[in-house]
Chains A and B, each alone.
Chain A
């Protein structure tokens, strides 16, 4: 048999060979195998992003909490404000009781505050020359704005850092050189949250 004859025969055999197709039964098996992969790989794919989302949420929460804590830390030395309820926590000084409403024994400071309030009660905001100035505020002086307010049954001391210019809104006179100065002041605040008297600490 020559090479040409062999090639011809191989060609014919090749045609016959290529007519053979793969069995259909395998197609179903492979289809099922691929589909089962979807269900098997579905869970990890779902869990992976969920884990990342949880981590991201945790990070955001930690960051926000840190920012809030930092802002609280920065504001705390400047402002210590207390309302009637949590006053003892904010202010290191004890809550004072008014002798009018509660004749029980009170601290000497609260006594002084009330005495000052009574003594300076006639002060009015309409009389600027009589308005107290920061230099004369070593002891508690009643605020002109609190003149018409009812007597407080309970007083709280609130310490605040403020500017000299801020005193004007309470009806107090402030020297020009003290306008820009920052000072620590104590307010005697009634149970209604309104200030009754002020004292400059430093």
Chain B
């Protein structure tokens, strides 16, 4: 009975807009609640795109601080807060990647090492797990334009419309990029699997 009467914390009931307003008014708890709600999405996206946890953390922090500084930029009628945050994260990420052009196609050495690991001992691993590793490594081989579509559509399970809003492109472009990304991924993985199968034991 007492459990039923206990009130939920206001952060869990409030909408994004209410929390945003409270955060702007200086409520730290509202800001923390917004971070709990959307921080994971922003961090995962930046982590998967950059392959660097410290870069992902830095960009995530900048994105949420933008919530406090770029007040007039967010328009709730044009899209959800998560979409807006992802859009900011993407712009900051691209700026970061432009500074490190070498990182565009050569990052996540750990994943490559894992992939090499699977090559070394495929018999010790389940085929499924091997495929997951291979896809993860294959994703890192994709160009960022295609990779971000795979992350948002396939991994985050966002709708095409949401992704189109984040990338600021038409929905048709999202579809075609995803199609191209999957075809390229399948090609990369097919080659990897063929290499693995062809290796002498």
Contacts and interface: CB of A to CB of B under 8 A. Distances in A.
- Chain A contact-residue range equals 35 or more
30 contacts: A1-B190, A9-B128, A9-B135, A10-B154, A11-B154, A14-B154, A16-B132, A17-B44, A17-B156, A18-B156, A20-B40, A20-B44, A20-B47, A21-B43, A22-B39, A22-B42, A25-B57, A26-B39, A26-B61, A27-B32, A27-B39, A30-B28, A30-B31, A30-B61, A31-B28, A34-B26, A35-B28, A37-B26, A38-B26, A41-B25
B162 interface: no
B104 interface: no
Given A30-B31, A30-B32, A41-B26, A14 B186 contact: no
A3 B48 CA distance: 22
B81 to A, nearest CB: 14
Interface of B: 23-32, 35-36, 39-40, 42-44, 47-48, 57, 60-61, 64-65, 68, 128, 131-132, 134-136, 139, 150-151, 154-157, 182, 185-186, 189-190, 193
Most chain B Cβ neighbours within 10 Å, of A5, A10, A11, A23: A10
A30 B186 CA distance: 41
Contacts of B155: 10, 13-14, 17-18
A36 to B, nearest CB: 8
Contacts of B30: 34
Contacts of B156: 14, 17-18
Contacts of B24: 37
A23 B43 contact: yes
Contacts of B157: 14
Interface in A72-108: none
B26 A27 contact: no
A4 to B, nearest CB: 11
A33 B131 contact: no
A29 interface: yes
Contacts of A37: 23-26, 68
B13 to A, nearest CB: 19
Q: Chain A interface mostly helix, strand, loop or mixed?
A: helix
Contacts of B154: 7, 10-11, 13-14
A18 B35 contact: no
Q: Chain B interface mostly helix, strand, loop or mixed?
A: helix
Contact of A30 (B64, B131, B132, B151): B64
Interface in A39-53: 39, 41-42
Contact of A34 (B31, B132, B134, B193): B31
A177 interface: no
A182 interface: no
A31 B57 contact: no
Contacts of A2: 186
Contacts of A6: 135, 182, 185-186, 189
Nearest to B47: A20
Contact of A33 (B25, B65, B185): B65
A171 B155 CA distance: 109
Contacts of A36: 26
Task: State the 3 A-B residue pairs at the shortest beta-carbon distance, nearest first.
Answer: A38-B26, A22-B39, A34-B31
A116 B111 CA distance: 126
Nearest to B136: A13
Interface in A123-165: none
